[in-house]
Structure 1
Amino acid sequence: MPHLKRPAIRLTLTALLLAGVAVLASPGTADAQVTAYKQAVAEASYGEDGVAAFYRKNGYQPVWTGEGAEFTARRIALIEALSMADVHGLPAGRYDINGLKAQMAAARTTRDMGLVEVALSREFARFARDLQTGLLTPSQIDDGMVRVVERRGAEAYLSELQAAEPGRYMRMLAPNTSQYRALLKLKLDLEQALATGGWGPTVAGGKLAPGDGGPRVVALRNRLIAMGFMDRSAVASYDGTLQKAVQAFQLAHGLEADGVAGDGTLDEINKSVADRLKSVIVALERERWLPRDRGERHILVNQTDFTAKIVDHGRVTFETRSVIGKNVSDRRSPEFSDEMEHMVINPSWYVPRSIITKEYLPKLRANPNAVRHLEITDSRGRQVNRGAVDFSQFSSRSFPFAMRQPPGKSNALGLVKFMFPNKYNIYLHDTPQKDLFAREVRAYSHGCIRLAQPFEFAYALLALQEADPKSFFHNVLNTGRETKVDLERHVPVHIIYRTAVVDDRGQAGYRRDVYGRDAKIWEALSRAGVVLTAVQG
């Protein structure tokens, strides 16, 4: 993790946290004290399944309130970790640090110590889960965020803590990924920029291009300097240096890198530090939702970036442009993880029921010879004679047929599709609509992910199992027959949605919130108590 500054608290904590730990050894019958302590722990943890289960299994022995250095170390590590919650974009007010301190300081009896014990465990378990796998539940925010988060219970966290060095364990709860660490550093940089007034005045509207001059060019120059895209300069004209800076900004933000500051580019340049900071905090939460084991080789599709990548051992080894679902209610691409199992070369397109009834049935009612490129088949897969069917008698519910487009260059799936069977019927595939990949915003599909370079994507996947993957692929392709090719090693697929990213060179970049999902996440985080913080450098 990057070095992040926060006020020192250890000196004030140590005396406080050491206070009262000898209560269990105070006058009275030892057995009676132990019984009272265990009873207090059992009562306090009742109804908290994970916490209660842990204490039942360990015989109601203390984790935090025992006597000795290991217990002191755990208490100090927990309070210090809770005090850093806002560094991770978590709501500081969610964890009652002051309440815990007061409860520890006020403990006078064996029963009090049992109550303190459970209070610390509850707060620890909540914080551990929030930091490791996120504060929010994705599907409760947006119905397209169908990702299932691998949440763990209090029992697991408490058991692990007992066997670990507490300070190190608290630090290891956050995702141990280069992206998460880079986002933490970016968050701190933005908080420092917020504390010093941001990136200066915005640039007034209207395109700016090489050769222009005047106050608006000066404002553009100053803003790019403040954001780190060019060195300090007193030049007031749109010269080659400024053009290169604009291009660098465009590349970092997924824009067409033409070096012209048009309306779209200026909209992004004028985004405030606060807006970018919100994106980073949302990205931290999203990073916590992903599986901790992404796979040594995995496929990463970032919807907002319109890209699909193959990542090997943390390094991008292949990247291509993609098209995602159109921004309408039934077409937006969902977010989830799965495993790619096979590819189909020369695929047929089996038209989804929703497309048949919404798009094609009305056309067939008007003209039975409509959409002739599609075969209509019955429940046994036999082709139906269109002329013998009165399509006007069918509703969207009663339509009894399926529709299929045979393999071929004009097939809606192109010449290859990549399968990771899932209940959402989402996969990656080729497309005959190559012109879409030249556009800056590429949200046009029915939900599946279309690839600009599907053949090269296939070669990269087959390289692990074929001596000559390109020849193998084309030998199958040239048969014209629909052919399933299994991947000997399944490849995890992560379809994500990230508007704040940091590349391998440490360059921060931002993307448009295509579906408005990040705005919803920020609203939910804000309701939970997350706030923007300005931090002095």
Structure 2
Amino acid sequence: MTLKFTKTPLFALALAALPFAAPVATGVGVGIGLTLAPAPVQAQAFSALRQAIAEASSENESLAAFYRERDFQPVWTSAEAADRRNALISALQEAGNHGLPTSRYDIDGLIETFRNATNPYARGQADVMASRLFLQYASDVHSGFLEPGDIISDFYQELPRPDARELLADLLDSNPHAFMASLPPQDPGYTRLMRTKLHLERLAQTGGYGPRVQAGALRPGDSGGAVIALRDRLMAMGYLDRSVTATYDARMQQAVVEFQLDNGINADGVAGGETIRAVNRSVEDHWNEVVLAMERHRWLNEGGEVPDRLIFVNLTDFHVRVIDNGETTFITRSVVGARDRQTPEFSDVMEHMVINPSWYVPRSIAMRSYIPNILAGGSTYMQLIANGRVVNRNAVDMSRYSVSSFPFDLRQPPGPRNALGTVKFMFPNRHAIYLHDTPEQYLMEREVRTFSSGCIRLDDPHEFAYHLLARQTDDPVGLFQRILRTGQETQVNLDVEIPVHLVYWTAWVDDDGTLNFRDDVYGRNARLSQAVRANGVVMPERAS
């Protein structure tokens, strides 16, 4: 698919060639000359212009400070600002391509305000209006139009909101069209999502994916109307070349396998209930997911700066990836928090790993899972800690305590039964979340892996450690294994700290253009999608 913007012809926006700092307008439009007033009138007009800008910007502290620093000179309505005005209008006209709430930007109102700016006061009002709309658009397209922390209780990602004064100052120092183009995320994944969004809109206008599959399940060898519907939807989604078969043949089976892989479904080639539900999702369903995925990309927008290495944990995909210079160099399955103990979304920096870790049990987990058993005489492998020292449990009268009054902290020493396994990877944070090994490796075979108390358990923790250590030692395996064999808790610092992103992405487009979906395991999409629609972001054409 090729991304193709269809630009609405620009209105005649450029204010005529005004004398610098002496704007007395007689008309608005490209090539319309304005009459130069005598010098005293020029000075009076500019004073009125500055006063209008000061008044109009006074309610926004950042905007007022910006204009004050430049002596209330106009940004958008001066003679030399025609290209800047056109760049702003062009960007606002394309806001819908980014899945943004276009009603926020009042393009028609801005154009009309520019046209009516025929006196100094109106020019000042128009200038500030343009600045406000620019700042709204720039913030939205750069770092998102939602405030996800107000919608999702487990969202702690700090949005990269640009500073208003810096935005305006950078605009003035840049080619305006290039600057507008630099505001959205610059990573290829965002561009691929935008292309997919536009493709889905075109597909909706031509009938979508076709009739839904009316069957509970289909398998190889089946035939009939439901198989034809499955065939047609797979073709519309790009999984099957043009075909007239009415039988669930080998080609359809392979197409189903590919569809299942891209939707996080067990890839057995049988269109069972989960596969049928996924294949029956509408173009509009997919469009909504893609728009939300673009918004999520904006929440991580680093302004074109891509770290040479980062660790990417997609909670819905149950995988952890190491990404070097934009390419995935390591991937392992993972277990994430249970639905009632959800893993939060946030970013931090990995500083070190601990080999042969002990586990200081969080109080909430201790009260729920361990203290009742200790009071009953069990969990003897757990150490009781008071004032940083181990307490002899034989000297403690457990009958004196309840779960809520239990006075000791709990520590699980290194060993084969340790809940953290043999290694943990630390990016210290207020949520007490980290990556670690687990003795419950059998859970990695489950399709939906929501079993932890919030931390991320790894399927291949040793290989993950080797991969991270390979940048700072010629023998990462030997180093790790030597420490492991000591049985002693040992911290190994990373020479270069690594950014870690814990995200909740239910849709993305691979390098080869494949659109992937994952289930909304925590129900976060439902709430965010409601907020997206409440802001007026809906698919232009509905289709099945």
TM-score, normalising length: structure 1: 0.95
1:489 aligns with 2:496: yes
* 2:309 match: 297
CA distance in 1, matches of 2:53, 2:465: 58
* 1:18 match: 29
Offset of residue 7 of structure 1: 4.2
Q: Work out the percentage of aligned pairs sharing the same amino acid.
A: 45
CA distance in 2, matches of 1:376, 1:463: 38
Task: Find the partner of 1:420 among 415, 421, 427.
Answer: 427
- Shift in alpha-carbon separation, 1:283–1:179, aligned structure 2, 3 A: same
CA distance in 2, matches of 1:391, 1:526: 56
Offset of residue 304 of structure 1: 0.7
Q: Conserved in 2, the CA contact under 8 Å of 1:416 and 1:429? A: yes
* 1:80 match: 90
Task: Find the partner of 2:397 among 389, 397, 402.
Answer: 389
For residues 112-123 of structure 1, the aligned pairs below 5 Å read: 112-123=122-133
- Shift in alpha-carbon separation, 1:25–1:338, aligned structure 2, 3 A: farther
* 2:464 match: 457
- Shift in alpha-carbon separation, 1:207–1:535, aligned structure 2, 3 A: closer
CA distance in 1, matches of 2:35, 2:419: 73
1:50 aligns with 2:62: yes
Unaligned runs of 5+ in 1: none
Q: Conserved in 2, the CA contact under 8 Å of 1:20 and 1:107? A: no
CA distance in 2, matches of 1:361, 1:438: 30
Tell me the secondary structure at the aligned position of residue 406 of structure 2.
coil
AA of the residue aligned to 2:485: N
Q: Conserved in 1, the CA contact under 8 Å of 2:310 and 2:498? A: yes
- Shift in alpha-carbon separation, 1:372–1:122, aligned structure 2, 3 A: same
* 1:359 match: 369
Task: Find the partner of 1:107 among 97, 117, 120.
Answer: 117
Offset of residue 50 of structure 1: 1.5
Task: Find the partner of 2:134 among 124, 132, 152.
Answer: 124
1:162 aligns with 2:172: yes
- Shift in alpha-carbon separation, 1:401–1:22, aligned structure 2, 3 A: farther
Offset of residue 535 of structure 1: 10
1:442 aligns with 2:453: no
Larger mean Cα displacement after TM superposition, 381-390 or 425-434: 381-390
- Shift in alpha-carbon separation, 1:119–1:152, aligned structure 2, 3 A: same
Unaligned runs of 5+ in 2: 16-26
Deviations along 1:209-244, one digit per CA (max 9) or x if unpaired, are 222222222221111111110111122222211111
Deviations along 1:472-518, one digit per CA (max 9) or x if unpaired, are 11111111111100000000001111111111222111111111111
User: CA-atom RMSD, angstroms?
Assistant: 2.0
CA distance in 2, matches of 1:18, 1:377: 78
- Shift in alpha-carbon separation, 1:318–1:147, aligned structure 2, 3 A: same
Q: Conserved in 1, the CA contact under 8 Å of 2:358 and 2:414? A: yes
1:466 aligns with 2:473: yes
* 1:4 match: 4
Tell me the secondary structure at the aligned position of residue 516 of structure 2.
strand
- Shift in alpha-carbon separation, 1:25–1:287, aligned structure 2, 3 A: farther
1:139 aligns with 2:146: no
Offset of residue 110 of structure 1: 0.8
Offset of residue 24 of structure 1: 9.1
- Shift in alpha-carbon separation, 1:146–1:227, aligned structure 2, 3 A: same
* 1:214 match: 224
1:478 aligns with 2:489: no
1:333 aligns with 2:340: no
Q: Conserved in 1, the CA contact under 8 Å of 2:13 and 2:85? A: no
Q: Conserved in 1, the CA contact under 8 Å of 2:49 and 2:120? A: yes
Deviations along 1:172-203, one digit per CA (max 9) or x if unpaired, are 11000011001000101111111112101111
AA of the residue aligned to 2:411: R
* 2:71 match: 59
Larger mean Cα displacement after TM superposition, 137-146 or 312-321: 137-146
Tell me the secondary structure at the aligned position of residue 115 of structure 2.
helix
CA distance in 2, matches of 1:195, 1:7: 19
CA distance in 2, matches of 1:483, 1:509: 40
* 1:370 match: 378
CA distance in 2, matches of 1:3, 1:505: 15
Larger mean Cα displacement after TM superposition, 475-484 or 200-209: 200-209
Offset of residue 13 of structure 1: 4.4
Task: Find the partner of 1:531 among 529, 535, 538.
Answer: 538
CA distance in 1, matches of 2:491, 2:34: 70
- Shift in alpha-carbon separation, 1:95–1:17, aligned structure 2, 3 A: farther
Tell me the secondary structure at the aligned position of residue 18 of structure 1.
coil
Q: Conserved in 2, the CA contact under 8 Å of 1:252 and 1:507? A: yes
Q: Conserved in 2, the CA contact under 8 Å of 1:375 and 1:383? A: yes
CA distance in 1, matches of 2:35, 2:265: 65
Offset of residue 298 of structure 1: 0.3
CA distance in 1, matches of 2:522, 2:243: 38
Q: Conserved in 1, the CA contact under 8 Å of 2:28 and 2:116? A: no
Offset of residue 22 of structure 1: 6.9
CA distance in 2, matches of 1:204, 1:405: 54
AA of the residue aligned to 2:390: R
For residues 137-286 of structure 1, the aligned pairs below 5 Å read: 137-286=147-296
* 1:500 match: 507
Offset of residue 204 of structure 1: 2.2
Q: Conserved in 1, the CA contact under 8 Å of 2:7 and 2:93? A: no
Larger mean Cα displacement after TM superposition, 313-322 or 3-12: 3-12
AA of the residue aligned to 1:472: L
Aligned length: 529
Q: Conserved in 2, the CA contact under 8 Å of 1:378 and 1:384? A: no
Tell me the secondary structure at the aligned position of residue 382 of structure 1.
strand
CA distance in 1, matches of 2:294, 2:331: 23
Q: Conserved in 1, the CA contact under 8 Å of 2:14 and 2:85? A: no
Q: Conserved in 1, the CA contact under 8 Å of 2:13 and 2:30? A: no
